[in-house]
Structure 1
Amino acid sequence: MSHGKLLEVENLHAYIGSPRGVVKAVDGVSFDLAEGEALGVVGESGSGKSVMARAVMGLMPARSDRTGSVAFKGRDLLGLNKKQLAEIWGKQIAMVFQDPGRSLNPVVRVERQLSETMRAHLGVSKSEAHSRSLTLLQEVGVPDPERRLRAYPHELSGGMRQRVMIAVALACEPDLLIADEPTTALDVTIQRQVLDLLRRIQIERHMSVMLISHDLHVVAGQTERVAVMYAGRLAEVGVSRQVFDTPRHQYTSALLAATPTIEHTRHAPLNVISGSLPSPTDPPPGCRFAARCVAATAECHSAQPPVTGVGEPGTDHSVACFNPVTHVKEGELVGR
């Protein structure tokens, strides 16, 4: 494994059987994640972000198939059985799901949900698990943690449930935390608190984080690198600031243009990306974004664009586009 690389994903495919046919949810995705790094994964709903995360974890439905390579600390997770994966889940890789109301057991008190993982993976005593549970709740900003430990999930607010879910994920001090839409259904103030919390803990623990979101503003400022996903494939990968300031894929540029900002004129129409995602059971042969792209050529519709490096040497900025956006001067974007 390369020095400093915690996770290396190569040509990952995740196909799921359905009544409509085989859903090609993830179709040839490659990326890596360094130790202590935060990677954002963004894209429209239905682009395959959550399935990709579950494919990395090994949390796929029965009628599914994964191929490729998912190397975690040099060990390919795709070759492990459920028992072997269970030894990794929680202890080395943990996941925060987008709906804590469904992820937390509604009939089990918070303390048990926190302590069970620690006792199973770390072998700590009941009293030590209780002490660690209190510390975890304090760390994630839950007020009156002693009382919250005795509570059931339904007795907590959405923001508190999400903090408990983060505490559960952190209980065994994993090396990698995958946060799948962790701020869904939370108001803006609580969203910011949760995101700042994840970022602080990631830095303090030197923990790797994969932050998945359909909202570009959620990822901006919270990650070192960002991967833009569209229709099961990666469109663009690079340093977050570079991707947001100088997007090179036509989809990334359109996605940013369609994101409302504080400078948006009141009552003015919002920019939209015309069309919709292609069928995951019958994707087009060329670029998946071609049918919605203003710069598409005949080649885009017939051939899959290769991943190529863009920008200055050493910037680690790559894009899968035949006609990437060219930044001719500040504030002006044109197709090449």
Structure 2
Amino acid sequence: MSGPAGGPPGPSEPLLVVENLKAHIGTGRGTVRAVDGVSFTVDAGAALGVVGESGSGKSVMAKAMLGLLPARSGVGGSVWFEGRDLLALDRRARSAVLGRQAAMVFQDPGRSLNPVVRIERQITEGMRRHLGLSRGRARERALGLLQEVGVSDPERRLRSYPHELSGGMRQRVMIAIALSCEPRLLIADEPTTALDVTIQRQILDLLRRVQQERNMGLILISHDLAVVAGRTDRVAVMYAGRLAEVGSTREVFAAPRHRYTEALLAATPTLDSDRHARLRIIDGSLPDPVKPLAGCRFAPRCRHADDGCRLDELLLYGVGKDHMTICRHPVASAGGGTSDARAGVARG
């Protein structure tokens, strides 16, 4: 995934290469290992979905990549983007990248937008700083962005304060801000939280459309598997700070190989589900991030786990074309076979 001796990716490499990313946060109870050795890639013009239960480390991972965690956090690994390791940049150099080449849509627009600043200034600020646009040119572009993301009466919305807009409108404004400087990479962290189902679909379809039209890389983070289905090219399943499974969205949904992915899909209702049947639940809870478990961190909740699952340090290994997992006892493939999971055990 990287160049010689761990250097930057070559010209034909993915837009984003994340290698062994770690984010450890100090607390009164001890150090929380929120992200603990995550690696993945995102191609230009492609969308990656990151899914998992709340508390699995998805949001912390995104913020760690962009250097947005609190100062007390310890972040390691590398995040190669546009030929530069974002984690190696100083604050000023990283600030020049954020908003201009890489942007993020946060979970709660009500908390992300400044409540005492009009929408116009919040959209145009980045364009004037990064693109050097005049006030008039930036305002003209802001109107076009609001129209592009489906905001009605954009002239009036520019003069509005955030509290005067609905939740769906505020989220569209956040997307307009993220798109304002033509970024190459967009990270959307739970972008439909607290929105009703109809607005959720509109926002998700909007993100996918602008991502494809602008040939951006997109990372769509969600705890809901239905959100990423049909809107991403690849999916990474995250559990307790680590990746459990990565592959094409179609293959992972059709033939999950990690027992955690299988359980998540079984707990998700479908159009074919019996309306009167109880949804399957995943017994137990996420492990204590202050005291991380060895081996597969899903083992205490998995009826297939053995001593090797609990003790061996497991690595991702291939179970199909563009499909990897860490599971020692993977779900049988459509053909009925399973790969040798022991090939994914780390050796000292």
- The verdict on a shared fold, with TM-score over 0.5 as the criterion, is yes
Matched, 1:196 2:205: yes
Instruction: State which of 134, 146, 156 in structure 1 corresponds to 2:165.
Output: 156
Instruction: State which of 27, 30, 37 in structure 1 corresponds to 2:39.
Output: 30
Whether the 8 Å contact between 1:4 and 1:35 is mirrored in structure 2 is: no
Match of 1:53 in 2: 62
Runs of 4+ in 1 over 3 A off after TM superposition: none
Identity among equivalent positions (%) equals: 65
What is the rounded CA distance, in whole Å, between the counterparts of 1:101 and 1:94 in structure 2?
18
Alpha-carbon deviation of 1:329?
Answer: 5.5
Match of 2:271 in 1: 262
Match of 1:147 in 2: 156
CA RMSD of aligned residues (A): 1.5
Instruction: State which of 317, 323, 327 in structure 2 corresponds to 1:317.
Output: 323
SS at match of 1:23: strand
Matched, 1:247 2:279: no
Aligned AA (1:16): I
SS at match of 1:71: strand
Instruction: State which of 121, 130, 140 in structure 1 corresponds to 2:139.
Output: 130
Aligned AA (2:249): S
Aligned AA (1:132): R
Task: Please give the residue correspondences for 1:48-87 in structure 2 after superposition, counting only pairs within 5 Å.
Answer: 48-87=57-96
Single out whichever of 194-203 and 260-269 deviates more from structure 2.
260-269
Q: How many residues align?
A: 331
Match of 2:30 in 1: 21
Instruction: State which of 68, 88, 101 in structure 1 corresponds to 2:110.
Output: 101
Instruction: State which of 250, 273, 281 in structure 2 corresponds to 1:272.
Output: 281
Alpha-carbon deviation of 1:173?
Answer: 0.5
Alpha-carbon deviation of 1:222?
Answer: 0.4
The CA deviation string for residues 79-121 of structure 1, in whole angstroms up to 9 with x for no partner, is 1121111100100000000000000000000000001110000
Instruction: State which of 16, 19, 41 in structure 2 corresponds to 1:7.
Output: 16
SS at match of 2:332: strand
Instruction: State which of 167, 180, 183 in structure 1 corresponds to 2:176.
Output: 167
Whether the 8 Å contact between 1:5 and 1:73 is mirrored in structure 2 is: no
SS at match of 2:97: coil
TM-score (norm 1): 0.96
SS at match of 2:49: strand
TM-score (norm 2): 0.93
Aligned AA (1:322): R
Alpha-carbon deviation of 1:304?
Answer: 2.1
Match of 1:206 in 2: 215
Aligned AA (1:221): G
Single out whichever of 234-243 and 65-74 deviates more from structure 2.
65-74
Match of 2:312 in 1: 303
The CA deviation string for residues 148-179 of structure 1, in whole angstroms up to 9 with x for no partner, is 00000000000000000000000000000000
What is the rounded CA distance, in whole Å, between the counterparts of 2:104 and 2:335 in structure 1?
41
What is the rounded CA distance, in whole Å, between the counterparts of 1:297 and 1:74 in structure 2?
42
Whether the 8 Å contact between 1:94 and 1:169 is mirrored in structure 2 is: yes
What is the rounded CA distance, in whole Å, between the counterparts of 1:214 and 1:50 in structure 2?
10
Match of 2:3 in 1: none
SS at match of 1:325: coil
What is the rounded CA distance, in whole Å, between the counterparts of 2:135 and 2:275 in structure 1?
57
SS at match of 1:5: coil
